[in-house]
Structure 1
Amino acid sequence: MKRSLPDLDTSALLDQLGSANRRFQETYPGDRPDRQPVHTVYGGANLFRADTAARMGEIALRNLQTYAPNFVELARVLALPGHEALPTLEKDIHDLTAQLDALGPDERRQHPAWLAHAVHSKIVQKLKTEAVEDFRIDFEDGFGNRPDAEEDATAIQAAQEVAKGMRENSLPPFIGIRIKPFTEDLKARGVRTLDLFLSTLLEETGGQLPANFVVMLPKVTIPEQMTTLVRLYDLLEKTNNLPAGTLKMETMVEATQIIMDEEGRNPLLRIIRAGEGRCVAAHFGTYDYTASAGITAKYQTMAHPVCDFAHHMTKVALGGTGIFLSDGATNVMPIGPHRGDELTFAQQRENREAVHRAWRQAYHHTMHSLINGFYQGWDLNPAQLPMRYAATYAFFLGAYEEAVHRLRVFVERAAISTLTGDIFDDAATGQGLLNFFLKALNCGAISEEDIAPTGLTLEEIETRSFYRILQGRRKQR
């Protein structure tokens, strides 16, 4: 077979390309398979207690049981698929619920009412067992500007409550604090609160941090603000005998300048790099961002087009880097205008209508975020939690069958390919498909058994790595 290119020349060229490819892969390793919470609940630091997550779950469950006591009511409010054919009489709803509960998983999934029934059932279970996935103890907007002595005392008290929650195992799986921004007027206050909180917490716990602890730095506009926090982390770790790199951070996208700088460039990746590997997430601040874009308060909503622009610019800058992205919050609370135990029928109706309107808005906001690839958002009130999970479960369950087919076909095709340099492209695509199921599994939308139709074993799923799955299968061939 005649060839025109000498092996020596092509090898040198391909070696050069290999170096460039590896540099690219280091910057863009692909989606991170670690668990990402579906939300972050923000609450004023002065209100945080060790049992806050449990109490929020109780309030959220009461809210759901009051305004959607069964899956039919929830389906109608949210116009879930098949809601038009659902019964209206209480007895018929009871009979249908019993019928669905008696079916096996495969039979139930074929029933027209399956999605609505599954979503409602899973929300109830989630609120009873893990209503809050992530909580941020807020020393910024949720706390406000208070006298130094008051913020000092609150930082110490909040740290003591976190330590108590660690002892009592009552904290959510993810937790952290949001300090004041490193702007010129607030930087000293932010550092002081961080120091007081961490020093107190580590003293109370004997040098232990809660699992998945992170510090949120708000209103970031320049890389130097991130660099300063990194240097502070170095000092805090050394002083408190923590292993280097222990402390992690998140940044916020809540100013137009973090989307485009004075030279017309998107600075987000430079800002993330300034975190020197400590930054794990970027959160969108809906209301600060819309305000920075000149949007008046009446129109500051997650549905405003400037938010979608910022989201896309964030995706363009950080897609494939492994940084978790979070959308912002809906600021309409699903709480009725009338309070008390002896409300008139008219007042009860007004409450129900107000809550259902807010539910629909929150549901559509969250679904819009999920469709656009933002798998996390903010919640500000326990009454918002039912709709966070309603949208999340409807999103994953509604796409389940198609996702099963795509992943099964991809696994079959990828497993018979040869292990070459192209495997990284295969693995990145497969990891994205696998992550759909990992996210659904983490939030409770599906169980481990629901992943079996993809052709993956439980052991393979537990690796959380498509690349390892392919390696394992090729060794078996």
Structure 2
Amino acid sequence: MDRLPVASLSEDDLFRFLEDLEATLAGLRAGSAEVPEGRQPVHTVAGGAHLFRRDTAAKLGRIAGSCLERYAGEPAALREAFGNRLPAGTAGAVHERVRAKLAREPVESFLIDFEDGFGVRSDAEEDEAAVTAAAEVAAGVAAGSLPPALGIRIKSLSDVTGERALRTLDLFLTTLARAGGGLPDGFTVLLPKIVTAGQVDVLAGALDRLEATLGLPEGGVAIDIMIETPQSIVGGDGRIVVPELVAAAGGRCGTVHLGAYDLTGAAAVAAEEQTLGHPLCEVARQILQLSLADTGVRLSDGATNVLPVEPHRGRAVISAAEEAENMATVHGAWRRHYVDVRRSLSQGYYQSWDLHPAQLVSRYAAVFSFFLEGLDEAASRLDRFVSAAGRAVLTGSVFDDEASGQGLLNFFLRGLASGALTTEEAARSGLTAAELETRSFRTILEGRSG
């Protein structure tokens, strides 16, 4: 009979050490690499509040669809528009799915903007826009014409615009509540230009009061946070303050957005260098990811400000040279946007901003190509790893462990939610629909072992 190995720590030692360990770990957030419950939109489309109507999303889809047909009516033309970055093997599927998406659900999340997209207007004009936009939202709820996610961006809660911001919030929610249709699903208020957690706390308090006064569900209005000032990332004492901003929302914070242009501008970056690819934005994205990892708070990258706007438009007839210039301009802006979206996706940012309806073409082309190009390898790796019962496995030259398994599962969950992948394509992973719905690689393994 083999002798038992000799250990040096007594049972009392182990008990004491484990007690200390339990006390140390108590109160720490329970981390999880699983995709949070609910659907994350692939983008936020922002538009001035004065322009919002109940059918705005459908209108944007029609404009985008027209742009697709005019400047990339065939898969080969779409490949050319993106400088042949779109592989020939997936171009047909991407083109077909972009066209279908623009017809079926062109906008996943829309932001009614009372800040940058609204401009400088009188108080009377903003009052009217707040009431009108809320009435249009109520009508959109009744008609079923709103996008899956909707929100408003108020002005900053600064000493200059704070009163205006709270009045707009009050008018909008009061009008919406009195219309009787209730809040749209997932309704959010985006707070810009934050310099202290106290501003987030004030907004949360105002929402508490408005919900109670108007009979709205407690906590029904979410708060989204815009990170676009140095003070919203690093405090005066050098600490990363992003988690404090989220905590100040009192459980309401759903998404944190990066405002690239205000942030780089505040750091004295020259205007022509203010891009999503600037090193300062790279650092900011990484800080957000690390400080909010496994909290359930979603992250959204910024916007591409080079827009696919035709230089020659508004006339029934233009020359061949002008048409060529239009195409070159649109294709150039699409390429810039495509590269930005693909970079965001590769860095783990599955949502970012769109500012123009024609960007919907490059948005969905970038998202769909990302998932379609990675489908074969992800399916092979996940199928083999699950078959190995979650034991570390070498697939080709790639070593997979449990963290890889959850990451591969997340790939399929996000691809399905965005419409990039079909259920048949997801099934190539070797997982059933019921297993995918668990959203947890560990749960899948436990289910199979049982």
TM-score, normalised by the number of residues in structure 2: 0.92
Distance between the aligned counterparts of 2:367 and 2:250, measured in 1?
32
1:236 aligns with 2:210: yes
Query: Where do 1:62-461 residues align within 5 Å?
Result: 62-80=66-84, 113-206=88-181, 208-339=182-313, 340-414=315-389, 430-461=405-436
Distance between the aligned counterparts of 1:115 and 1:434, measured in 2?
22
Distance between the aligned counterparts of 1:260 and 1:166, measured in 2?
40
Secondary structure, in 3 states, of the residue corresponding to 1:40? Answer: strand
Distance between the aligned counterparts of 1:447 and 1:19, measured in 2?
46
1:27–1:146 CA distance, 2 compared to 1 (3 A): farther
Distance between the aligned counterparts of 2:428 and 2:291, measured in 1?
35
Q: Is the 8 A contact 1:282 1:325 kept in 2?
A: yes
Q: Is the 8 A contact 1:68 1:74 kept in 2?
A: yes
Q: Could you list the runs of 5+ residues in structure 1 that have no partner in the other structure?
A: 84-112, 418-425
1:55 aligns with 2:29: no
**How far does the alpha carbon of each residue in 1:67-98 deviate from its partner, in whole angstroms, 9 at most, with x for none?**
00100111122244686xxxxxxxxxxxxxxx
Distance between the aligned counterparts of 2:86 and 2:136, measured in 1?
46
The structure in which a higher percent of residues are helix is: 1
Distance between the aligned counterparts of 1:313 and 1:249, measured in 2?
20
AA aligned to 2:380 is H
1:148–1:396 CA distance, 2 compared to 1 (3 A): same
1:82–1:32 CA distance, 2 compared to 1 (3 A): closer
Distance between the aligned counterparts of 1:430 and 1:251, measured in 2?
31
Q: Is the 8 A contact 2:186 2:221 kept in 1?
A: no
**How far does the alpha carbon of each residue in 1:226-245 deviate from its partner, in whole angstroms, 9 at most, with x for none?**
11111112111211223322
Distance between the aligned counterparts of 1:64 and 1:303, measured in 2?
26
AA aligned to 2:205 is R
Q: Is the 8 A contact 2:64 2:361 kept in 1?
A: yes
1:247–1:258 CA distance, 2 compared to 1 (3 A): same
Match of 1:32 in 2: 36
Could you tell me the percent identity over the aligned residues? 46
Instruction: Decide which moves more: 345-354 or 315-324.
Output: 315-324
Secondary structure, in 3 states, of the residue corresponding to 2:194? Answer: coil
The alignment of Structure 1 onto Structure 2 pairs a total of residues equal to: 437
1:305–1:82 CA distance, 2 compared to 1 (3 A): closer
Distance between the aligned counterparts of 1:64 and 1:336, measured in 2?
13
Distance between the aligned counterparts of 1:226 and 1:276, measured in 2?
9
Secondary structure, in 3 states, of the residue corresponding to 1:446? Answer: coil
Q: Is the 8 A contact 1:80 1:116 kept in 2?
A: no
Secondary structure, in 3 states, of the residue corresponding to 2:353? Answer: strand
Which of 24, 40, 47 is residue 43 of structure 1 equivalent to?
A: 47
Q: CA deviation at 1:412?
A: 3.4
Distance between the aligned counterparts of 2:19 and 2:428, measured in 1?
41
Distance between the aligned counterparts of 1:281 and 1:189, measured in 2?
24
Q: Is the 8 A contact 2:155 2:161 kept in 1?
A: yes
Q: Is the 8 A contact 1:139 1:178 kept in 2?
A: yes
Q: CA deviation at 1:33?
A: 4.1
Q: Is the 8 A contact 2:222 2:252 kept in 1?
A: yes
1:274–1:430 CA distance, 2 compared to 1 (3 A): farther
AA aligned to 2:336 is Q
Query: Where do 1:8-19 residues align within 5 Å?
Result: 8-19=12-23
Distance between the aligned counterparts of 2:60 and 2:158, measured in 1?
33
**How far does the alpha carbon of each residue in 1:163-215 deviate from its partner, in whole angstroms, 9 at most, with x for none?**
11111110000101001111111111111111111111111125x21111111
Secondary structure, in 3 states, of the residue corresponding to 2:169? Answer: helix
Distance between the aligned counterparts of 2:197 and 2:380, measured in 1?
43
AA aligned to 1:232 is A
Distance between the aligned counterparts of 2:124 and 2:20, measured in 1?
59
Distance between the aligned counterparts of 1:431 and 1:158, measured in 2?
41
Q: CA deviation at 1:469?
A: 2.7
AA aligned to 1:439 is R
Match of 1:97 in 2: none
Q: Is the 8 A contact 1:31 1:321 kept in 2?
A: no
Q: Is the 8 A contact 1:122 1:445 kept in 2?
A: yes
Which of 10, 33, 49 is residue 6 of structure 1 equivalent to?
A: 10
Q: Give the alignment's Cα RMSD to 1 decimal.
A: 2.0
Q: Is the 8 A contact 1:33 1:465 kept in 2?
A: no
Q: CA deviation at 1:246?
A: 1.8
Secondary structure, in 3 states, of the residue corresponding to 1:378? Answer: strand
Q: Is the 8 A contact 1:220 1:253 kept in 2?
A: yes
Q: CA deviation at 1:427?
A: 7.1
AA aligned to 1:279 is C
